[in-house]
Chains A and B, each alone.
Chain A
Amino acid sequence: MVQLQIFGQYLKQYMKARLAYRLDLIVKFITDLISQSFNLIFIVVVFGHTKQLGGWSQAEVIFIYGYFLLPWAIFGTFFNLWSFNDRYIIKGELDRVLTRPVHSLLQIIMESMTPESLIGVFTGLAVMGYGASQLDLYWAWYDPILLIVFTLGGVLVYGGIFIALTSISLYTDSKTDIQPIVFNVSNYGRYPVNIYNRIVQFVLTWLLPFAFVGFYPASYLLDRGDWRFYAYLTPLVGVVYFAIAVLLWNRGIRHYRGAGN
């Protein structure tokens, strides 16, 4: 309860700071929109030369991409851990965080969150809606609930992987480039995984399970039964990866010695 109140306070402070630079907000929104529309243009141009991609139509691929934007936006809101090494380890901000009585990871999430990224959820829903409007999809009464559960599962997968990678910084103070590498792998998850070869499919399912962020849940919502089993696994995979990440983090915090003197 206390944590929730603190969260509210952080949010209020953030909003004050952010609204001082309103133009930045608009600029960020527009550039996000541009990058997303370019991805859509890419899909449309590709489908100008083929009727199907590994058995998926243009509307279906657009739907998968739109769905992928939901967990992506929520992840982008709360897990901006990209500059963790610079800001918290090298500059020593982590020492300040550790003296406070709220869990260190929660503090860091609250300090680096960007609530305006949540707009991406609406973009995602619009893209999904556009894809769905060209398809004859069957929506059971529980499908919206599953959509939310799947989305949260995807966020946990994303969050888990990147928290785990960030906690590497707690064990070693040298910079690693593993985050951008894995980040680029994550882009694979927004296309149907059956177009990749078996090794890539295995990696995307069991090692860096980005297929659970976009493709598996979306294929379920598209009424494709072939990956139903994997879709149901989404929340479980999310919880497992997130739990492992938090354990790694906690261990890392105990291990942490500080960067300087």
Chain B
Amino acid sequence: MLAMYREVIRIRFLMMLAYRVNYYSGIIIYSINIGAYVFLWQAVYGGKPSIEGFSAIQMATYIAVSWMARAFYYNNLDREIAEEIRDGSVAIQIIRPYSYLMVKVFQGFGEGLFRLLLFSVPGMIIVSFIYPIQLTADPIVWIQFLISLLFGFIVNVEVNLIVGLFAFFVLNNQGILWAKRFLVDLLSGLIIPISFFPSVLQKIFAFLPFQAISYIPSNTLVKGLSFDKWLPAIGVQFVWTIILAFICWGIWVKARRTLIVQGG
């Protein structure tokens, strides 16, 4: 069973490797986006030493880290699933001897692993030459970050599965996919750290899964969270992975019963 999923990861990884040229331009695009926000926040900081517990350098680092982390957790599983539901090929996938959703998850992981090694790492090196960024050398913080990043990936995949499976109930969910992308980018803390939002919004966000995707991992690395502060943060991520897994499963069970293949 596990060997099969390892194979899924390997195939996706190799598939991505075949199109690796596409990723060089991706690094440039991410660097440009990081630049826009770095400049903007530099202007906001002006002479101020720190805002909401972030120094100007930490802010620049946060932006760079969160974008490069996005390269790892970002995938189009939602669109892939929606398309397979719409063109009916999901019916074939379901009768195959593996779990449809788990295969999707591991495909996403293969893709993420590829981007982590060939996009995020070189991208981070390039970006750290261009912009004023300071990364910690403490290996423990890096391990904490990687664990948190993995949880961020899982939460994001689960959100994608849920949104993708919506195509079972709404036959055209293109709009939902788009809206979700904006929503995740804003509410996950990719563009603005959650602690910068007005406190009312922060209280609302605390009940949403999105900050587990980007804010918690990036904050872990940039602030070098101590172990006793990191543990509750990772706990929040863990709880969300469980809750969302149940929601996923519930929708999946219900969806299979209502499956209508259009034109099938």
A residues contacting B by CB (< 8 A) are: 23-24, 27-28, 30-31, 34-35, 38, 41-42, 45-46, 48-50, 53-54, 177-178, 180-181, 184-185, 187-188, 191, 195-197, 200
Query: A53 to B185, alpha carbons, bound, how many Å?
Result: 23
Contact B33 A184 (CB under 8 A): yes
* Residue numbers in A under 8 Å from B178 (CB-CB): 31, 34-35
- The number of residue pairs between A and B whose CB atoms lie closer than 8 Å in the complex comes to 72
The 10 A-B pairs with the shortest beta carbon distances in the complex, nearest first, are A27-B175, A177-B25, A195-B43, A31-B178, A50-B44, A184-B32, A54-B43, A196-B39, A184-B29, A49-B51
Known: A27-B174, A31-B179. A53 touches B29 (CB 8 A): no
User: Please, could you name 13 A-B residue pairs with CB atoms under 8 Å apart, sorted by A?
Assistant: A24-B172, A31-B175, A34-B178, A34-B179, A34-B183, A38-B186, A49-B51, A50-B46, A53-B43, A178-B25, A180-B25, A181-B32, A195-B40
Residue of A whose beta carbon sits closest to that of B33: A184
Known: A31-B175, A42-B186, A42-B192. 14 other contacts (CB 8 A): A24-B172, A27-B174, A31-B179, A38-B185, A45-B198, A48-B198, A49-B51, A53-B43, A53-B44, A54-B43, A181-B25, A185-B32, A191-B36, A195-B42
Query: A35 to B51, alpha carbons, bound, how many Å?
Result: 26
Chain B min CB distance to A179 (Å)? 10
Among B28, B44, B172, B182, point to the contact of A27 (Cβ < 8 A): B172
Query: A188 to B35, alpha carbons, bound, how many Å?
Result: 9
B residues contacting A by CB (< 8 A) are: 22, 25-26, 28-29, 32-33, 35-36, 39-40, 42-44, 46, 51-52, 172, 174-175, 178-179, 182-183, 185-186, 191-192, 196-198
Residue of B whose beta carbon sits closest to that of A196: B39
* Residue numbers in B under 8 Å from A23 (CB-CB): 172
Contact A187 B175 (CB under 8 A): no
The main secondary structure of chain B at its interface with chain A is helix
Contact B33 A45 (CB under 8 A): no
Residue of B whose beta carbon sits closest to that of A175: B22
* Residue numbers in B under 8 Å from A30 (CB-CB): 175, 179
Query: A130 to B198, alpha carbons, bound, how many Å?
Result: 21
* Residue numbers in A under 8 Å from B26 (CB-CB): 177
* Residue numbers in A under 8 Å from B28 (CB-CB): 181
Contact B43 A38 (CB under 8 A): no
Query: A77 to B24, alpha carbons, bound, how many Å?
Result: 30
Contact A181 B44 (CB under 8 A): no
Looking at B40, B42, B172, B197, the one whose CB has the most chain A CB atoms below 10 A away is B40
* Residue numbers in A under 8 Å from B196 (CB-CB): 45, 48-49
* Residue numbers in A under 8 Å from B52 (CB-CB): 49
* Residue numbers in A under 8 Å from B39 (CB-CB): 195-197, 200
Residue of A whose beta carbon sits closest to that of B42: A195
Query: A197 to B44, alpha carbons, bound, how many Å?
Result: 14
Chain A min CB distance to B158 (Å)? 22
Query: A184 to B172, alpha carbons, bound, how many Å?
Result: 28
* Residue numbers in B under 8 Å from A41 (CB-CB): 186
* Residue numbers in B under 8 Å from A46 (CB-CB): 40, 44, 192
Residue of A whose beta carbon sits closest to that of B30: A184
Contact B191 A42 (CB under 8 A): yes
* Residue numbers in A under 8 Å from B186 (CB-CB): 38, 41-42
Residue of B whose beta carbon sits closest to that of A46: B44
Query: A188 to B36, alpha carbons, bound, how many Å?
Result: 6
Query: A48 to B182, alpha carbons, bound, how many Å?
Result: 21
Query: A52 to B12, alpha carbons, bound, how many Å?
Result: 47
Residue of A whose beta carbon sits closest to that of B171: A23
Chain A min CB distance to B21 (Å)? 8
Residue of A whose beta carbon sits closest to that of B26: A177
